[in-house]
Structure 1
Amino acid sequence: MMSAPRRPAGAPSRDRSDQQLAGSDAAVRRGTRRGFAALCLAIASMLVLSACSLPFLPQPTAKPTTSTVDPSIAASAPEGLEKYYSQTVEWSSCEGGMQCATIQIPMDYDDPDSADIELAAIKMTSTGTKKGSVLVNPGGPGGSGVDFVKDAGNTHFTQKLRTNFDVVGFDPRGVKRSSPVTCLTDSERDAAREMVFRKETDAGLADALAFNKSVADKCAEKTGPVLGEIDTVSAAKDLDILRAVVNDAKLNYLGYSYGTFLGSTYATLFPDNVGRLVLDGAVDPSISNEELTAGQARAFEKALRAYVASCQSQNQCPLSGSVDNGIQEIRELINAVEQNPQTAKDGRLVTGSEFVNGMYLPLYDDQSWPALTQALESAFSGDVSQMLRIADLGADRDQSGKYTSNSAFAFNAINCLDYPMVSDTAAMRAEEARLKQESPTFGSYFAYGGINCQDWPYQPKRTPAPVEYTGSEPIVVIGTTGDPATPLEWSQSLRKQLDNAALVTWEGEGHTAYGRSNTCVSTAVDDYFVDGKLPQDGLQC
């Protein structure tokens, strides 16, 4: 949640997803903010975790409504986009007592008359006197805001926020219900996760490139021309149309992980339309893809050390000796699986990459560390099935073998449009050497990300650059000291770039803060959204 690599989230906040392409295995970039509710309960479905008890706040049944945009808000439409800003939206009853709708948006903002696509949205209506709406993005890129609000809305957002605002989630263009990127069948995805490419060899790298090209060709064939229009700038323009159709003169927005990148992009494009923006677990938009990768590799190594120290302080821990000794035991276990992939109880092959994928996900939330302990304990005993099950959760694969999202494909497609990537063989091998030094456990799994986009059918649309925000409304940025997917220094950097902003820091472990941290953070966010009270810049929670 950047959730997002930037899924690294992101859960991440693009949440750790399966790596469908054969480049970097670090699809954690940015991360998706699944939230404690979704992640913890999902892992608890296979492991016994008493820490996953959650409060439930009832959601009243929402009646179907028709939303007509106020003429004064529709008048804010950029030239040529008037029909999108003034559209009438039908909100119908859907799962969980919420309302769902589809919003019309142009496929190509450079030629808005060429074709329309649909954006899926869900609304959890306010329980009191409504002050407006808060639009939410959980990260990725590739995370579903519809699923986030539907699955975690009743537990993730405070009663104060829900009383005063509609909470609106949406699937960004290219994601799940919104003109989704489509590439491989479920069986092909299973097969891709079992592939091993020895990219340190010329032959292995050539095989990886050939496989990537075959997947890219399928993505282009099955998705169509929208594949070239799912960049973050276009998604930020969609966000302004959403602001209008929910009848808000200013955008109120909560973005996690990659969602902070979407939010800061919006602030650059529409500074006068910024209302109250909270950017939690920030991505630094000024740094390159390679710098993002290095930052995450270091942060995940740091998070692993925090986990090992916590594990060794408890009675039931399979890791012995000092923290360094425990880390070394994990590295030896990973290496053993890397050299000799193992078979899980369901007959599927678990490679070193998939084993590491299973390790990433619990590091997004320290409440899920017991799940990692149990999976490691089983793996040391020769059974990798639990680690594969956790990897499946990150890949959105259910126990029947069905993949319930397209997050991995959307993640790669959006990144290829958002970031120029280094794909020169010598440079990638040099990067791998640096990553191994900075993150001895995970570094090699973050390397070779450049080949994911080398044969992509569309070229990048942006060059990394600092945010240029000129709006009068201050923005809140939140960072977490132990965030593995979006390290704290990225939030600190974004706050400086925005200038008109306040930074809140949570001293905790895991990815992002609001909804999983403490009352200091939730009070600061709620008072800002509801009462317009900007938290003290530099607030430590």
Structure 2
Amino acid sequence: MYIRRSPRRFRTGVTLLSLAALLVSGCSAAESTSSAGSTAVAALVALPRATPSALAPYYGQKLSWRGCGVPGFECATLKAPLDYAEPGGGDVRLAVARKKATGPGKRLGSLLVNPGGPGGSAVGYLQQYAGIGYPAGVRARYDMVAVDPRGVARSEPVECLDGRKMDTYTQTDTTPDDQRESGELVDAYKEFAESCGAHSARLLRHVSTVEAARDMDILRAVLGDGKLTYVGASYGTFLGATYAGLFPNRVGRLVLDGAMDPSLPARRLNLDQTAGFETAFQSFAKDCVTRSDCPLGGKGTAPAKVGENLKAFFRTLDAHPIPTGDPDGRKLGEALATTGVIAAMYDESTWEQLREALSSAIKDKDGAGLLALSDSYYERDPDGRYANLMAANAAVNCLDLPAAFSTPEQVEKAVPSFEKASPVFGEGLAWASLNCAYWPVRPTGEPHRIEAKGAAPIVVVGTTRDPATPYRWARSLAHQLASGRLLTYEGDGHTAYGRGSACIDSAIDTYLLHGTPPTDGKRCK
């Protein structure tokens, strides 16, 4: 799925995959009929309360903490079974970091954080943002802890294409005009998948969200906590909800911010998310035409016309990419430009930067600004190296759900429905949903409801104009969870906690510090 970290205070949120592998990849033939909690799919079954004897060595391990180069933080390595069905068949080593509670006040235990993804580094997020940016009262009472999920960043990362080939991959045209171009897109997906299979064959069958959730329970026990306290954003909500479904009796205080709906197949998830980006773009467009520097229309221009102007610009770039000044010679074509625009949809504070980048590209034929937005989105550094974000994202998504589309012909039939959801982004997002069709490992997951019967209250946070995790998903997850409490932020941007709403922050802080959840249905502006 599209993932991105917000540049605001806590930088909660997710990191997104490229337009060459954009959305949650995977869908079964059985589409859910409702986002308000489908009853057509089975519920996730809780694991037995007793820990299997074969897992006892993992639950009983002691972490060896050490300094890790960032003042105030400690790091350790956690062992988990590569395959929970065969615990004796080898280990996976997971990177863990923590910052101890600073006081004053009685320590409340560990607070595990996850910024989303799949593929976002929780350890990096903790060290750069959460460990210093969360409210002082929360950091005073909790040890702030993060673990990179299996296959991500410091935890035996999934590896696929090198930097040079990734540059080519991210520039692949995802709005093919003919069979030749659709064939080139299919070839790109195949090359990416084959590369992942060649470089990470051991891991690819064992990076599912269920396995990552089980890893979190080992960490909870090793840290000495009877229950898990957790804040997860975007995909991190799916991870947290999965934990609650597997271990409802071990749920402490869980915050799921920017929620996903586990009951939906990926084609529906992708279609909903496409509509979410359109909603966010309409908010941008309405704001843009009130500004003197709007490059997509003057004052009074209808938002629909703004979208038409952007789409026309994308078509121009498709035929004639423009210079960027990139030392590696990359030009700004339609694919990179679209990613740059979508990157700015995650937080309204980025809209000014987007207007400037679009102005330079449209008026001056300088694509550097949009390329910079795209590169930050992909976590590409100036030396041309990529984090393993895209590799891990595809690996988890393609394992968690069956492929959204199996053939280009299926995509072609679905394009009109995606374009109806978003005239600006729909076609590209439809074709991006094809990437898991060629994955070298069969999926192990299916759409399912998560009820977590018997769990303590779980706070589900939804933003009404969230581009990446549409508000309807939060409503659905809160409805599925037996103890779900829906907290709504009426506004723009991806996720809500730590993004400027005193109402949201106060409600979540009160829950984390005192165990008092907000009233179900509480709304903040």
Q: SS of the residue aligned with 2:205?
A: helix
1:398 CA displacement = 1.7
Distance 1:363 1:397 in 2: 19
Distance 1:139 1:399 in 2: 24
Q: 1:296 to 1:111 in 2, by over 3 A?
A: same
Cα RMSD of the aligned pairs, angstroms, is: 2.0
The Cα offsets for residues 470-495 of structure 1, whole Å up to 9 and x where unpaired, read as: 12411000000110000110000000
Moved more, 210-219 or 478-487: 210-219
Which of 469, 474, 477 is the equivalent residue of 2:457?
Answer: 474
1:315 CA displacement = 3.5
1:27 CA displacement = 7.0
Report if the CA contact (8 A) 1:220-1:227 is conserved: yes
Aligned to 2:266: 289
Q: Identify unmatched segments of 5+ residues in structure 2.
A: 27-48
Which of 463, 470, 474 is the equivalent residue of 1:487?
Answer: 470
Distance 2:439 2:25 in 1: 20
Aligned to 1:112: 87
Aligned to 1:16: 16
Report if the CA contact (8 A) 2:175-2:428 is conserved: no
Report if the CA contact (8 A) 1:122-1:168 is conserved: yes
Distance 1:136 1:212 in 2: 32
Distance 2:273 2:483 in 1: 27
Report if the CA contact (8 A) 1:200-1:429 is conserved: no
1:76 CA displacement = 5.7
The answer as to 2:55 corresponding to 1:90 is no
Q: SS of the residue aligned with 1:477?
A: strand
Q: Identify unmatched segments of 5+ residues in structure 1.
A: 30-74
The answer as to 2:212 corresponding to 1:235 is yes
Aligned to 1:268: 245
Aligned to 1:185: 162
Distance 1:191 1:510 in 2: 30
Distance 2:380 2:163 in 1: 9
1:285 CA displacement = 0.2
Which of 312, 321, 326 is the equivalent residue of 2:306?
Answer: 326
Report if the CA contact (8 A) 2:175-2:427 is conserved: no
Distance 2:323 2:25 in 1: 24
Give the structure-1-normalised TM-score.
Answer: 0.86
The answer as to 2:431 corresponding to 1:448 is yes
The Cα offsets for residues 331-367 of structure 1, whole Å up to 9 and x where unpaired, read as: 2111211222222112312221110100111111111
Aligned to 1:46: none
Q: 1:26 to 1:337 in 2, by over 3 A?
A: farther
Report if the CA contact (8 A) 1:8-1:486 is conserved: no
Which of 339, 345, 361 is the equivalent residue of 2:319?
Answer: 339
Written as runs of structure 1 = structure 2, the 5 A alignment for 1:342-491 is: 342-346=322-326, 347-381=329-363, 382-403=365-386, 405-421=387-403, 422-491=405-474
Report if the CA contact (8 A) 1:506-1:517 is conserved: no
Distance 1:200 1:288 in 2: 28
Distance 2:206 2:285 in 1: 43
Q: SS of the residue aligned with 2:64?
A: strand
Q: 1:207 to 1:323 in 2, by over 3 A?
A: closer
Distance 1:428 1:335 in 2: 20
The answer as to 2:148 corresponding to 1:171 is yes
Aligned to 1:100: 75
Give the structure-2-normalised TM-score.
Answer: 0.89
Q: What code does the residue aligned with 1:376 have?
A: L
The answer as to 2:495 corresponding to 1:512 is yes
Distance 1:143 1:424 in 2: 29
Distance 1:28 1:361 in 2: 19
Aligned to 2:110: 133
Distance 1:342 1:17 in 2: 23
Q: SS of the residue aligned with 1:123?
A: strand
Q: SS of the residue aligned with 1:328?
A: helix
The Cα offsets for residues 257-316 of structure 1, whole Å up to 9 and x where unpaired, read as: 001111111111111111111000000000010111111111111111111212222333
Q: 1:486 to 1:371 in 2, by over 3 A?
A: same
Q: 1:137 to 1:189 in 2, by over 3 A?
A: same
Q: 1:390 to 1:96 in 2, by over 3 A?
A: farther
Report if the CA contact (8 A) 1:197-1:207 is conserved: no
Aligned to 2:44: none
Q: SS of the residue aligned with 2:120?
A: coil
Aligned to 1:528: 511
Moved more, 436-445 or 451-460: 451-460
1:9 CA displacement = 7.9
Q: SS of the residue aligned with 1:342?
A: coil
Aligned to 1:65: none
1:199 CA displacement = 3.8
Aligned to 1:78: 52
The Cα offsets for residues 78-122 of structure 1, whole Å up to 9 and x where unpaired, read as: 331011111010111221321111101111111111111111111
The answer as to 2:290 corresponding to 1:307 is no
The Cα offsets for residues 2-21 of structure 1, whole Å up to 9 and x where unpaired, read as: xx42x2789994433445xx
1:25 CA displacement = 4.1
Which of 124, 127, 145 is the equivalent residue of 2:99?
Answer: 124
Identity %: 37
Count of residue pairs brought into register by the alignment:
488
Distance 2:411 2:498 in 1: 38
Distance 1:172 1:499 in 2: 26
Which of 244, 254, 261 is the equivalent residue of 1:277?
Answer: 254
Moved more, 462-471 or 186-195: 186-195
Distance 2:455 2:381 in 1: 46
Report if the CA contact (8 A) 1:126-1:163 is conserved: yes
Q: 1:335 to 1:204 in 2, by over 3 A?
A: closer
Report if the CA contact (8 A) 2:244-2:455 is conserved: no
Report if the CA contact (8 A) 1:130-1:165 is conserved: yes
Q: 1:254 to 1:12 in 2, by over 3 A?
A: closer
Q: SS of the residue aligned with 2:111?
A: strand
1:324 CA displacement = 2.7
Report if the CA contact (8 A) 1:506-1:540 is conserved: yes
Q: 1:355 to 1:445 in 2, by over 3 A?
A: same
Q: SS of the residue aligned with 2:449?
A: coil
Q: What code does the residue aligned with 1:410 have?
A: A
Q: SS of the residue aligned with 1:448?
A: helix
